[in-house]
Structure 1
């Protein structure tokens, strides 16, 4: 985030939007905290950002919303949070229609969307104190204790007195998460929450997400990092070019893709030749490993062919398919899988 946007709170949603209403939305329909039907957003000029999205997010899940940058993830989240109107279709959050029920729903939702909006001239602690004070349901007598607990939870206690304009991007992300966690929430919506974090910070955020899920909070996490989704999420949906490709339990999505044959050997060139003769395609050779598509033939026969050819086989088998394998199989394309 640049310094100008950091000085203009409201440029992005960094914390729950307080509102009226009783805040007591009933249980989500069929155990779903988010559901959409044919949700569509078309911008002026005809750009179709989201095309007929049918999404179902189970209560208590850590739900990964996965897709390359520009696939429609942030636009979908902005519609779910009532920040923009859909062109057509419906969206329900906590069993209430959005954006019509925003004043009832949003006090129960913590959100970090498109990066936190901060007062750069205030310290991290004072930013949270001001955000908490804007919530009419927050007890002022326990405000400082809530802020201290939120800062501690995201690892910012030591830097809480520093001006927000001096924070790194990763620290701003942490402060935005702290703002979303000032009060217990039924739903936490995070748009690229590990953006700008170093590997240690990414691990800490993943651990925090798991803790929140164990506490009963449903976490809806958007990311373009396949590895991140696979490590922390129980369920996922895959978006591409504004359309939903698939959704379901992460284990089931990965199980729908074929794994990879892996041969560990010092004789990689000979192994690749034999595997090609056995009709195995998509071969890749790395240091000490040859991988390829799982063979149609019996694995024992393929292994025997390697041994007969004098290949020293130190490891042989089919690795379980990953979420990356499932995505490539479904879309025919890949994207950033670093995590």
Structure 2
């Protein structure tokens, strides 16, 4: 697939010497839901601001929809919907009137169909019933939804979302994820920045992992997870005995949490059936036994040696 976003050696160094983004080479395939993953402070938002032409890179290049940014801002941005660092809203206006203002500022927007576009955008993000409420009375999650509605006023080739589920309750998160999937099914490429591993794994087809301004890895989500080892899992009320016996059998990284004992999966020379038999023979009541496939969290920990917020 052709790349909708492509960067080569993209670098941003701020005054004082702070290196926010370090020689980033990124490729976002057309039609993908691309997760841009990393802890807070990893350089995600700075990268997005360079991609959108909001700040100049110190070095390197960024191409969006075939145009070099920031030089091609005027031709590229009409085809891009974006929600970056939270929406900018007029608190004294209603949600509906905020969208009318956004739509009026778009020179390509037909004023004759403005009311229909605004109503459709509000409905898509679940704010139709709160359309007449002043934005200053909106919760953080409602403001996020309104910002997303602004990005959806026109059909877009590319949608760039920076932490789109910030402030949303679990139901709101599920609704936004469903919306992202629907947009991708309609042919929109979605570039989604998040520090939530679970969010990326549930909704994204491709992902890139950032840490301390540098790109660690990128590719299809399934491939990223496949590059990490899974984990051995034993479900038992006898966690102490199970942990001891697993260590005696040479299992490394044994950890106990409630009635779940985990460890690194044994090598190909170890018969899992014999390992299970050793547990049972040692008096451990085994309620579940097996090797779980690796998750995106496992891949991130393998890459960096650390984890971060994995709540969904």
User: Quick check: TM above 0.5?
Assistant: yes
Task: Kindly provide the CA deviation profile for residues 103-141 of structure 1, in whole angstroms up to 9, marking residues without a partner as x.
Answer: 000000000000000111111100101111111111111
Write the distance in 1 (CA, Å) between the matches of 2:200 and 2:81: 19
Give the 5 Å matches for 1:191-202.
191-202=162-173
Displacement of 1:311: 1.8
1:72-105 deviations in Å (ceiling 9; x for gaps): 0000000000000000000000111011001000
Secondary structure, counterpart of 1:83 in structure 2? coil
Q: Distance in 2 between matches of 1:219 and 1:93?
A: 13
Q: Which residue of 1 aligns with 2:290?
A: 317
2:30 maps to what in 1? 59
Q: Distance in 2 between matches of 1:312 and 1:192?
A: 43
Report SS of the residue matched to 2:160: strand
Alignment partner of 1:331 is 2:299: no
- Tell whether 2:129 aligns with 1:158: yes
Moved more, 300-309 or 220-229: 300-309
Provide the residue aligned with 2:120 in structure 1: 149
For residue 121 of structure 1, the aligned residue among 72, 77, 92 is 92
Counterpart position of 2:259: 288
Q: Which residue of 1 aligns with 2:111?
A: 140
Name the CA distance, whole Å, in 2 between partners of 1:310 and 1:338.
Answer: 35
Find the counterpart in structure 2 of residue 253 from structure 1.
Answer: 224
Q: Which residue of 2 aligns with 1:279?
A: 250
Unpaired segments of 5 or more residues in structure 2?
none
Cα separation, 2, equivalents of 1:80 and 1:36: 9
Shift of 1:286: 2.3
Name the CA distance, whole Å, in 2 between partners of 1:199 and 1:89. 39
Which residue is 2:236 aligned to? Answer: 265
Deviations 1:172-217 (A, max 9, x none): 1000000000000000000000011111111110010000000100
Matches within 5 A, 1:35-74: 35-74=6-45
Tell me the SS of whatever aligns to 1:253: helix
Q: CA deviation at 1:295?
A: 1.2
Alignment partner of 1:80 out of 51, 74, 97: 51
In the alignment, structure 1 segments of 5+ residues that lack a partner are: 1-29
Relative to structure 2, which stretch is displaced further, 299-308 or 239-248?
Answer: 299-308
Stretches of 4+ aligned residues off by more than 6 angstroms: none
**Following the alignment from structure 1 to structure 2, what is the Cα–Cα distance between the partners of residues 76 and 287?**
40
Q: Mean alpha-carbon deviation: is it higher for 261-270 or for 144-153?
A: 261-270
Q: Partner of 1:74: helix, strand, or coil?
A: helix
The 2-side partners of 1:251 and 1:234 are apart by: 8
TM-score under structure 1 length normalisation: 0.90
Cα distance in 1, alignment partners of residues 239 and 218 from structure 2: 38
Match status 1:170 vs 2:141: yes
- Deviations 1:294-317 (Å, cap 9, x if unpaired)? 112221221121122122222111
Root-mean-square deviation (CA, aligned residues, Å) is: 0.9
Is 1:210 paired with 2:181?
yes
Among candidates 250, 265, 279, match of residue 306 of structure 1 = 279
Q: Tell me the distance in 2 between the aligned counterparts of 1:121 and 1:265.
A: 57
Alpha-carbon separation, structure 1, partners of 2:83 and 2:274: 53
- Give the TM-score of the pair, scaled to structure 2: 0.98
The equivalent residue for 2:198 is: 227
CA apart distance, 1:270: 1.2
Cα deviations across residues 6-46 of structure 1 (Å, max 9, x unaligned)? xxxxxxxxxxxxxxxxxxxxxxxx61100000000000000
